[in-house]
Structure 1
């Protein structure tokens, strides 16, 4: 092995600081950038990495794990005896069935494919069921295997160019729905495979809405991979917006909504970079697009709507690490107008991040309890919620520890 190869933090008993440096370097993150995200000085980061300062207390360790997008806490601490996955939730019991449907080779067989109209109606019912359900992954896990196989078969059996494009549009959205089930589960390769297939199907369909949705999800996947993929996330969103612009003057509500969702994604990535002006500038563009939609419109895939813009403002402020502003936006947001239970739970988690960032730990835990009431499967798979709960389980205040421990038990974080 070359002597200048980057060591693997799993193979040798490396110190905490060495692991932190390796993982930071792999993310392509500089010490000053990491220090800024942690609220520490670059010299502090350097001292930790050199072993001049020992492993910090758990709250700081959890913040480091969030900044570095460490999926398993033991990758950072070196303690393999009790691994804790932070940004990947537990594998759902229906994940193998969905994986098998994605991986299957669907040829003609001995049955006729459903019509694209029938598939589109089933897909619409699946989206509606997801928004209504507290345990939305259970619902999707039950519906997806047959939907995936039937949509693949519809493409295979298309007998004209027009019918094939229509079938590809439905198949693309089925893959989009699949990504909501697969995300934050322990199969990153499957998530990327579905994202890529969704994009291919969307391009084959030539449907602007399908292309926009596929790009929206792909941009998120790139951004969540880490800072070194932020440029790819922006490129995906910007190219899709450029494509959609030609359709916008005469576009229907759902095409305008996906354009607005993409505008917000660019702002979200800017916020992750710490670019305040760009982040709020793109949020303003998304807000203007939302105002062009009917007041009661709600996009079934992205949740983009007038109702969601306030929730998006909380996310921007939180990602910019602006505690006071994020709380102000959280107070201003109209949660009663969010009709989707999983999206409401996601917003509650963002509110909890705002309160926690502002030093209001009790309010953050109370808000996470509301998220759990709205949709337990959303908070169970959310790394930010898990990090806050674990951090507060180490609080010096007994009442707060008990409250956090109860939530940790509900999320399965205390399992042996």
Structure 2
């Protein structure tokens, strides 16, 4: 496999750290011309002391400057590294609304621009492009926080809060997938508070699912189950609540996430009860929709039915659920949902001892949304299991994917 020249690797990481050649040169104590020659390969980097200094400034392991193409590593384009985690953390720690109470508020983008940026971020998430999203999140968080702090008038204030609530939810969702559970919980918790200012019970409802997902990821499934069910009861159609498609979608997702929390506890009776309630909502909805970015409907219900079976340790039932699924409806779902399901299905096959099909599901998921497979800790654990249980050398596609993921063969 061809390797990138070391100068190209320096340029890649400098660009990823958002440093100009001049800034990088100043921190290194060199000239801009020196940096340019290194990156173009005109000047060689043959002193270890300089390499270590470069790695320190770029906040990377020096082996990345010597090793393989960074695009083929877990901390490259498709994933997130600790510098980006800290940038998101810093953005989450801002309190623009309180600062604006005492001082001049920051100047936010127009709400129309914010709305487009938030919609784009949702689509980036639902297409499984997590690396692209995590690099955009710090600025999006700052802009949304500034908008929430500044815009006056009831309508603008509510819309700014609504947009910020969505950005927090996006951040929570992607951080949870990448294993940053504490930050995911913080962002989700913020989204619930902001949803109240937006005066939108449905936004608060879907924010609840983000909080509960983070709690489950942190090993707290019981409070997650209780919270999901409590808020679902408040939003259930009937009485003063209409059966609007948006309400049905949010209500259905609360029940589905409650079922996942119950499965983590091992409470199969509650799982069946909540899935049954979600099924009734899906029938009323009449198809798969993406209201409030939920992707809720009959197909997503089946995906959660299979995922709950996996959590309960019943891989055979999960496989049977998949085999009964409407293939056309499944293929119509957005890439993140499908790749997530393929990862669940890989776990199911592993549970029943079929490591060949488990590996095949990982390969299919990787072709569909690489970040869902290459960047998630649970996928890394599963790939290690597949490699360990494979007799002899793994098939070349599996070995190649494992290398991409940074999992040792």
TM-score, L = length of structure 2: 0.72
User: Which runs of no fewer than 5 residues in structure 2 stay unpaired?
Assistant: 1-73
Q: How does 1:5-404 map to 2 (within 5 A)?
A: 91=81, 94-106=84-96, 107=99, 112-132=107-127, 134=128, 136-185=129-178, 187-226=180-219, 229-245=220-236, 249-299=241-291, 301-334=293-326, 336-338=328-330, 339-395=333-389, 397-400=391-394, 404=398
Q: In the alignment, is the contact (CA less than 8 A) between 2:166 and 2:191 conserved in 1?
A: yes
- Secondary structure of the corresponding residue to residue 414 of structure 1: coil
Q: Which residue of 2 aligns with 1:41?
A: none
**Residues 105 and 225 (structure 1 numbering): CA distance in 2 closer, same or farther, change over 3 Å?**
closer
- 1:319, CA displacement in angstroms? 1.5
The offset of 1:168, in angstroms, is: 1.6
Partner Cα distance (2:324, 2:297) in 1: 16
Q: Contact 1:342 / 1:375 at 8 angstroms: preserved in 2?
A: yes
Work out the CA distance in 2 between the residues paired with 1:156 and 1:300: 23
How has the CA–CA distance of structure 1 residues 173 and 412 changed in structure 2, closer, same or farther, with 3 Å as cutoff? same
Q: Secondary structure at the match of 1:394?
A: helix
Q: For each residue in 1:286-310, what CA deviation from the matched residue of structure 2 results, as whole angstroms up to 9, or x when unmatched? A: 1221122242522453322222122
Return 148-157 or 177-186, whichever deviates more.
177-186
1:335 Cα deviation after fit: 5.0
Query: Is the partner of 1:398 in helix, strand or coil?
Result: coil
The question of whether the paired residues in 2 share the 8 Å contact of 1:92 and 1:185 is answered with no
The structure with the largest alpha-carbon Rg is 2
Q: Deviation per CA, 1:324-363: give whole Å up to 9, x if none.
A: 2121112122354343112211110011111111221101
| Kept in 1: contact 2:259–2:275 (CA 8 A) | yes
Query: Which structure carries more relative contact order (alpha carbon 8 Å, separation 6+)?
Result: 1
Cα displacement (A) at 1:171:
0.9
How far does the alpha carbon of each residue in 1:59-95 deviate from its partner, in whole angstroms, 9 at most, with x for none? xxxxxxxxxxxxxxxxxxxxxxxxx9xxxx8636643
Contact 2:237–2:243 at 8 Å: present in 1 too?
Answer: no
Inter-partner Cα distance in structure 1 for 2:119 and 2:251: 20
Contact 2:343–2:379 (CA under 8 A) maintained in structure 1:
yes
**Structure-1-length-normalised TM-score:** 0.70
Q: Which residue of 2 aligns with 1:44?
A: none
